[in-house]
């Protein structure tokens, strides 16, 4: 079975969404903090869910592994860590399930298995959107050394990756589930048609063909009858001559 082009495109989009979610998970840029009092004006604090980095706009030096126990003790940080890791794992599992269900090296795809993979990918997208949206909603309420708080690029990447996975997962699930339903109906119809074709009598040939076959078969019979009649009269003639 050849893998449908639409399914391949959806899988490529899912892979792109997974890369975006991976970047969102590991990059320390969920929010940036500027104009921190008591520090140089060009200092920018980049906060993520695993690490905090400090950079200076003048020198472009970046120093990571910055400790902030109060920030990491926020509930959203722990929830975001778990859900983003779950997103990465579930997405990979969903891709494997879709590949197994729609593999191209056999003639009988398991569309129900592929549809389950699409549902897993949809769920993984939801797992990415929830923590990103929650963090974005309480962005300014999380403790910060400055009031100049800005959205980091990880929020944008997280939204994008999660939405891509949701849409691609829905497309996979809907397409494969619909294909399974149509395939089952066509399979039943095909079986019924085969049974009916076997039970129906063979179509009769046209009159011209039968006439040609009858004429062809009557020629040898007429010749044989003529030979028998000639032999019969020869026998009678010879017997009459003998009696005379």
Q: What is the pLDDT of residues 212-241, one digit of tens each?
A: 555 555 555 555 665 666 566 566 555 555
Residue 229 and residue 45: Cα distance in Å, rounded?
A: 122
* Greatest CA separation for the chain: 158
Whether residue 90 contacts residue 120, with contact meaning beta carbons closer than 8 Å, is answered with yes
Better-scored residue on pLDDT, 68 or 15: 15
Residue 129 and residue 124: Cα distance in Å, rounded?
A: 9
Residues 6+ apart with CB under 8 A from 41: 35
pLDDT at 107 over 80: no
Sign of CA dihedral 100, 105, 106, 108: positive
Q: Give the model confidence (pLDDT) of 183-208 as tens digits.
A: 544 444 433 343 344 444 445 545 55
Residues 6+ apart with CB under 8 A from 130: 83
Q: What is the pLDDT of residue 242?
A: 54
Give φ, ψ of 47 to 5 degrees: -115, 130
Which of 19-33, 92-106, 133-147, 185-199 shows the lowest per-residue confidence on average (mean pLDDT)?
A: 185-199
Q: What is the pLDDT of residue 185?
A: 47
Q: Which long-range contacts (CB under 8 A, 24 or more apart) does 37-44 make?
A: 37/145, 37/146
The residue assigned the tokens 């829905």 is: 170
Whether residue 127 contacts residue 97, with contact meaning beta carbons closer than 8 Å, is answered with no
Q: What angle do CA 214, 219, 220 make, to 5 degrees?
A: 115
- Number of Cβ within 10 Å of residue 3's Cβ equals 14
Better-scored residue on pLDDT, 193 or 134: 134
Mean pLDDT across the chain, nearest whole number?
79
Whether residue 132 contacts residue 158, with contact meaning beta carbons closer than 8 Å, is answered with yes
pLDDT band at 7 (very low <50, low <70, confident <90, very high): confident
Q: What is the pLDDT of residue 188?
A: 42
Q: What is the pLDDT of residue 2?
A: 61
Better-scored residue on pLDDT, 232 or 121: 121
Better-scored residue on pLDDT, 107 or 121: 121
Q: Give the model confidence (pLDDT) of 40-83 as tens digits.
A: 888 899 999 999 999 988 877 888 988 889 999 999 999 999 99
Residue 46 and residue 41: Cα distance in Å, rounded?
A: 15
Whether residue 124 contacts residue 165, with contact meaning beta carbons closer than 8 Å, is answered with yes
| DSSP string of 32-83, one letter each residue | EEE--TTS-TTEEEEE-SS-EEEEETTT--EE-----HHHHTSHHHHHHHHH
Q: What is the pLDDT of residue 173?
A: 85
Q: In the chain, where does DSSP find H-type helix?
A: 5-26, 69-72, 75-101, 111-137, 153-199, 207-243
Residue 83 and residue 79: Cα distance in Å, rounded?
A: 6
What domains can you pick out in the chain, each with its CATH number? Answer: 5-29+69-180 (1.20.140.150)
Q: What is the pLDDT of residue 20?
A: 97
């Amino acid at each position: 079975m050849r893998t449908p082009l639409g399914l391949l495109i959806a899988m490529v989009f899912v892979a792109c969404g997974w890369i975006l979610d991976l970047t969102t998970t590991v990059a320390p840029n969920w929010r940036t903090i500027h104009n921190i009092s008591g520090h140089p004006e060009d200092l920018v604090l980049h906060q993520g869910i695993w690490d905090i980095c400090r950079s200076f706009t003048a020198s472009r030096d970046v120093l990571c592994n910055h400790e902030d126990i109060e920030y990491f003790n926020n509930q959203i940080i722990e929830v975001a860590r778990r859900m983003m890791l779950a997103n990465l794992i579930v997405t990979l599992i969903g891709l494997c399930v879709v590949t197994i269900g729609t593999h191209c090296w056999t003639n009988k795809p398991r569309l129900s298995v592929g549809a389950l993979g699409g549902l897993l990918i949809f769920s993984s997208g939801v797992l990415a959107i929830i923590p990103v949206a929650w963090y974005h909603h309480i962005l300014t309420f999380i403790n910060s050394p400055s009031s100049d708080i800005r959205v980091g690029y990880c929020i944008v990447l997280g939204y994008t990756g999660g939405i891509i996975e949701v849409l691609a997962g829905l497309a996979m699930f809907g397409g494969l589930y619909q294909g399974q339903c149509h395939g089952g109906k066509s399979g039943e119809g095909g079986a019924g048609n085969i049974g009916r074709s076997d039970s129906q009598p063979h179509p009769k040939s046209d009159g011209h063909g039968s006439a040609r076959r009858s004429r062809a078969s009557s020629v040898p019979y007429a010749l044989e009858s003529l030979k028998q009649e000639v032999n019969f009269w020869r026998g009678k003639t010879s017997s009459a001559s003998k009696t005379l």
